[in-house]
Amino acid sequence: MPQSQPEILLEDSEGIARAAALLTQGALVAIPTETVYGLAGDARNDTACARIFEAKGRPRFNPLIVHLPGLDAVAEIAELSNSARDLAQAFWPGPMTLVLPLKPGHGLSPLVTAGLETVAIRLPAHPTARAILTAFGGPIAAPSANPSGQISPTTASHVIDGLGDRVAAVLDAGSCAVGLESTILAPSDTGTRLLREGGLPREAIEPLTGPLITDTTPGRIEAPGQLSRHYAPSVPMQLNAPLDDMSAVRVGFTEADGGDLALSQSGDLVEAAAALFRVLHEADALARTQGKAAIHVAPIPETGLGRAINDRLRRAAAP
Ligand code: TXA
Ligand code: MG
């Protein structure tokens, strides 16, 4: 029996209206953002939120990011301190998520906040994501649109390969420009904590906030992206590897590294970030079709977006 497939929607007014209508019915729609594709559901609807966890096969109910179209919508559900407002003004819309105190009467499903007093909020920059948020007219919960623990999706076909008919529709807007999940920050009076490295590099944030606080409480997982094994392909990965072992799929940082695949043509970290999850998907597929037992990845510089790239690679390589 052929597996049924999700509806494929286009980036036109019809596709956007259909996505909004499905969300209103409580269905799940994979939507493009500039970071990765999100598995979107109505953040006020308990059933829709429960479906998100079920579709991803998430082992437990981690809180989800709430996507909103603008600062007015943020102010309805969360408290914006001065430091939060400064960050919002500098980096929204864009690849940054802020963890903020909830306001009473916020109306979100408790599954979104996992019972916390705070909520993670993001204003995406992708024009199609923004159009869907406006057409839907409410908060959208959206984790990355992949099965839990697997590589995040940066194209519509990644979503379909991973989730199949566990999502009602996929809005296909091509590849995600940033290619890494958002940077998660928790601003407070005593400084700003960095909860997840991501598409907004630390170097861009610290001139505004001062040094970011990164010493998270040991043993306390605040984001699935902080699980030690995450974003994992189906074969073992080795990092900082010389690319001379032909029994492995070899991934270079640049094309000059001479691998089977490369993250960027000439060593541009923005290009490498945008390509990372696509290249991991491709490396995984090559390992399977060519019977290779491992994926070897060349060293990536630990600056700017390189930090988030190395963070994802370390988790993908964790045993
Ligand atoms: O780029 C992104 O952020 C993508 C796109 C689709 O927007 N979304 C994404 O969402 O990565 P998700 O749900 O996979 O990751 C959100 C992370 C979770 O790991 C969760 O633990 C953390 O944010 N989070 C959510 N609410 C939180 C809270 N109140 N306090 C601390 N962490 C929170
Ligand atoms: Mg994810």
Widest distance between CA atoms in the chain: 59
Residues 165 and 313 grouped into a single domain: no
210 within a domain of the structure (yes/no): yes
Q: Terminal CA-to-CA distance of the chain, rounded, Å?
A: 36
Is the same domain home to 210 and 299?
no
Q: Quick check: CB of 310 below 6 Å from ligand 1?
A: no
Contact 67, 158 (CB under 8 A): no
**Quick check: is 1 in a domain?**
no
Mean pLDDT of the chain, nearest integer: 92
Confidence check: pLDDT of 105 > 70:
yes
For ligand 1, atom 22, the nearest C-alpha belongs to: 223
For ligand 1, whether the C-beta of 39 sits within 6 Å is no
Structural domain includes residue 231: no
Q: Is the domain of 91 the same as that of 206?
A: yes
User: Does residue 306 lie within any of the structural domains?
Assistant: yes
pLDDT band at 28 (very low <50, low <70, confident <90, very high): very high
Contact 308 CB / ligand 1 (< 6 Å): no
C-alpha dihedral, 144 to 150 to 152 to 153, nearest 10°: -100
Question: Both 155 and 209 in a single domain?
Answer: yes
CA of 230 to the centre of ligand 2 (A): 8
Q: Are 65 and 98 contained in the same domain?
A: yes
Taking the centre of ligand 2 as the mean of its atom positions, its distance from the CA of residue 143, in whole angstroms, is 6
Percent of the chain scoring above 70 in pLDDT: 94
Using 50, 70 and 90 to split pLDDT, how confident is the model at 259? Answer: very high
Do 251 and 207 belong together in one domain?
no
Compute the distance from residue 259 Cα to the ligand 2 centre, in Å. 27
Q: What is the domain-level CATH number for residue 103?
A: 3.90.870.10
Q: Is the pLDDT of residue 217 over 60?
A: no
The pLDDT value given to residue 3: 58
The verdict on 153 and 302 lying in the same domain is no
Q: How remote is the CA of residue 119 from the centroid of ligand 1, in Å?
A: 9
Let me know whether 172 and 250 are in one domain.
no
Domain that holds residue 272: 237-317
Is residue 166 domain-shared with residue 85, that is, in the same domain?
yes
Distance 22 CA to ligand 1 centre (A): 22
Domain final position from 214, 248, 282: 214
190-to-80, 81, 255, 261 alpha-carbon distances in Å:
15, 12, 44, 44
The rounded Å distance from CA 32 to ligand 2 centre is 14
Asked if pLDDT for residue 230 goes beyond 90, the answer is no
Ligand 1 pocket test target in 36, 61, 64 with most atoms within 8 Å of CB:
64
Q: What is the DSSP string of 159-195?
A: HHHHHGGGSSEEE---S-SS-SPPEEEEEETTEEEEE
Q: Is 63 in the pocket of ligand 1 (CB under 6 A)?
A: yes
Q: In Å, how far are 26, 76, 193 from 189, measured between CA atoms?
A: 38, 21, 11
Rounded Cα–Cα distance for residues 200 and 60 (Å): 27
Q: What is the pLDDT of residues 31-42, one digit of tens each?
A: 999 999 999 999
Residue 229 maps to a domain: no
- 82, part of any domain: yes
The whole-number pLDDT of residue 1 equals 40
- Tell whether 200 and 256 lie within a shared domain: no
Q: What's the rounded mean pLDDT across residues 247-255?
A: 97
Do 248 and 184 share a structural domain? Answer: no
**Predicted confidence band of residue 220 (pLDDT cuts 50, 70, 90):** low
Ligand 1 lined by 38 (C-beta under 6 Å): yes
Whether 258 and 186 share a structural domain: no
**Res 255 pLDDT > 70:** yes
pLDDT score of 45 more than 80: yes
Asked whether the beta carbons of 247 and 286 are under 8 A apart, the reply is: no
Query: Which of the listed residues 29, 61, 126, 184 should we mutate to test ligand 1's pocket, taking the one with most ligand atoms within 8 A of CB?
Result: 184
- 106 inside domain: yes
Q: Is 122 in the pocket of ligand 1 (CB under 6 A)?
A: yes
Read off the DSSP letter of residue 144: B
Structurally, the chain folds into a number of domains equal to 2
Mean pLDDT in residue range 87-108: 97
Residue 220: inside a domain: no
Strand duo 38-42 + 29-31: pairing? antiparallel
Which ligand does the CA of 32 lie closest to?
Answer: 1
